[in-house]
Amino acid sequence: MHYRNIFIAALLLFAALGTSVFATERSEIDDKYKWKPEHVYASVKDWEADMDGIRANVEKLPSFKGTFAGDKATDPPKSLIAMNKLTESIIGRLERAWTYAMFNFHVDMGSSEWGGRMQQLEFLSTDLSQKTAWVEPELLQIPQETLHKYIDENPELESYRKTYDDMYLLQEHVLSEAEEEILALSGNITGTASDVYRKLTDVDLDFGYILDENGDSVEVTDAGWVSWRTNSDRRVREDYFKTVWEKYKRYKTSIAALMAGNIKKNVYLTKARKYDNTLERALSYTFVPEDVYINLVETTRKNTAPLHKYNEIRKRMLGLDHYRHWDYYVSLIDAEEPRYTWEEGVKMVTEAVAPLGSEYVRDIAHGLDPKNGWCDAFASAGKRGGAYSSSCYQIHPYMLYNFDYEKGLTLEDVSTIAHEGGHSMHTFYSEKTQPYPTKDYVIFNAEVASTVNEALMSMKLLDEARAAYKDAKGKDKAAAKNYLISLLEQNINSCRGTFYRQTMFAAWEWEANKLGEQSQPMTSESFNEIYKKLLQEFHGPAAEYEDLSNYSWSRIPHYYRGYYVYTYATSYAAAVALAKDIRAEAMGDALKKGVTARYLDYLKSGSSKHPVELLADAGVDMATPAPIESFIKYFSDLVDEMDKLTR
């Protein structure tokens, strides 16, 4: 909805939680690899002045009350036009104020100064929601055909036609003015479980130390598991895993209570807005049918055999009698991983996305060029972890990364550049093409734009490696084979992590929320039992999990965003289908003519249609099992190729 949950759509931030685990100081990093928040505001003084202006304008909003419908509504179209202009100005400026503060805070998460400014913005956002709580209830007093007449007679309202139509589609879930105001006021409360969870896991949990393979003491962090889980020393991997998971087990009661609180919040909002279940409510605001979610989970659960086979291959190649949780990520090929400079990584990305055309290549190359200030490339002490793309209206997108400044980029890091670059191009084109009300896009569509870039790069590298292996002779044959196997492993792991793993998460979230809907016990034991069954179902007999693994749900921050993780899986399936067709057209396949143009139109479409419709226009119908089944076939073929190469 236009006046509700403003920043969910507006900021379009895709990120992992946590802070950087690297010790490099920000001052040690070349300034050219740092983003430029000054493109948003020249100084903090300018930010503060704009905040004062925003607050003053927010106070004007209640004056429009009663001018759309009722006795005071002498000229509703004129009032609507004026209200829309004021609201666009407020939200646009608030986006800029939010992103400026966020960009400064995220490179120094220990800053109480910027943390305080972020709190100011949260309060201002809640105040805006409260002062516009009356808008939708009043608009809904106007018959839809009358509002259409206003739009037909006033071109300035045309860009809002879809926004208003969507409002009528959700009419039965819009409450009275007083009830909407109460729900708006509850915004600072309903996020408590998420806030406490984040502070507990990001700040308060102390995981202690383990000995590495050299006998040196190393500090254990939750975020550090991503690096240490690939360590070649199995004892180190096991120690690191158990140290992290034991800590979550120790706080199992508190974390289960936070999750239960999160689910109770979901149930409360579901009942307050008169939805049948939490899934329906969560998806309704993006107009994604429940069938898309259900189809993903049910179709995937019927097709776990390729993942079972991959686990069997891993167990065989690692030479293990027992394939455990800490063996899940270690590389199958013992070879030194190549490293790249930022510039080399960007070159690999721009070459990979060449099938999308010269304009796309030019634009993404501009965004990734350090001198243009869009990117913050390297990890430093106190910087927010993970990677994301974010933006604010009429300012270019920004990208945050956390690469190792001393060692350079891995191939996976280069893939991350492609991913966030895809998000930024989606934002760049939609904002350039769409009017303000439809410039944003929902997460269901967002992850497609990022993953297409990743898929294009991985497919290009795989084809080149296959050709090199085929042509190699003598001693070069073994090296070419190992490189091909390593690329296959990386691609399979990406599919496994983004599709199967996220679908398993989605299945857990669905089942856990049903406990709340049915007033069943929500404890660590009940949450663990759901997760245990899913681990066994998805990973098959080759994988052995102990009780500690059942606590994995407690490490997933995405659950506090509400039915969010499924979009990674649906997007991955859609992106692979699109990337295959785009590459086929670039290679001259006449049957795929027009595929690339339709995809570029998709990137320019914002929210001009509902999410599933937009994706169908691009060539993928996620309302059917076909894209999921096609993706599983793609994954299965990669696993079969790996099996043959490693026999």
Going by C-alpha positions, the residue among 574, 628, 623 that lies closest to residue 599 is 574
Q: How long a stretch of residues is the chain?
A: 647
Q: What distance in Å separates the CA atoms of residue 486 and residue 334, rounded to the nearest whole number?
A: 9
Cβ neighbours for 401, distance < 8 A, ≥ 6 positions apart: 375, 376, 377, 378, 387, 413, 416, 417, 420
Phi first, then psi: give them for residue 198, nearest 5 degrees: -65, -45
- CA angle (141 as vertex; 436, 78 as ends), nearest 5: 50
Q: What distance in Å separates the CA atoms of residue 135 and residue 265, rounded to the nearest whole number?
A: 24
Cβ neighbours for 526, distance < 8 A, ≥ 6 positions apart: 515, 520
Q: What distance in Å separates the CA atoms of residue 621 and residue 324, rounded to the nearest whole number?
A: 37
| Plot region of 294 (φ>0 → left; ψ -120 to 50 → alpha; else → beta) | alpha
Cβ neighbours for 387, distance < 8 A, ≥ 6 positions apart: 14, 15, 16, 399, 400, 401, 402, 416, 419, 420
Cβ neighbours for 2, distance < 8 A, ≥ 6 positions apart: 87, 160, 163, 167, 437
Residue with tokens 């085929």: 470
CB 395 within 8 A of CB 419: no
Q: What is the largest CA-CA distance in the chain?
A: 89
Q: What distance in Å separates the CA atoms of residue 304 and residue 537, rounded to the nearest whole number?
A: 8
Torsion from C-alpha of 83, 84, 90, 96, nearest 10 degrees? 180
Active site residues: 420
State both tokens at 363. 């634009």
Distance of CA 366 to the CA centre of its chain: 23
Q: What distance in Å separates the CA atoms of residue 349 and residue 375, rounded to the nearest whole number?
A: 15
Beta strand 375-378 pairing with 217-219: unpaired
CB 361 within 8 A of CB 425: no
Give 399's strand partners: 375, 389
Q: What distance in Å separates the CA atoms of residue 577 and residue 568, rounded to the nearest whole number?
A: 14
Q: What distance in Å separates the CA atoms of residue 363 and residue 377, rounded to the nearest whole number?
A: 18
DSSP state at residue 12:
-
DSSP state at residue 229:
T
Q: What distance in Å separates the CA atoms of residue 180 and residue 511, rounded to the nearest whole number?
A: 29
DSSP state at residue 340:
B
Beta strand 375-378 pairing with 388-390: unpaired
Distance of CA 474 to the CA centre of its chain: 45
| DSSP H or E stretch at residue 375 | strand 375-378
Q: What distance in Å separates the CA atoms of residue 144 and residue 150, rounded to the nearest whole number?
A: 10
CB 563 within 8 A of CB 507: no
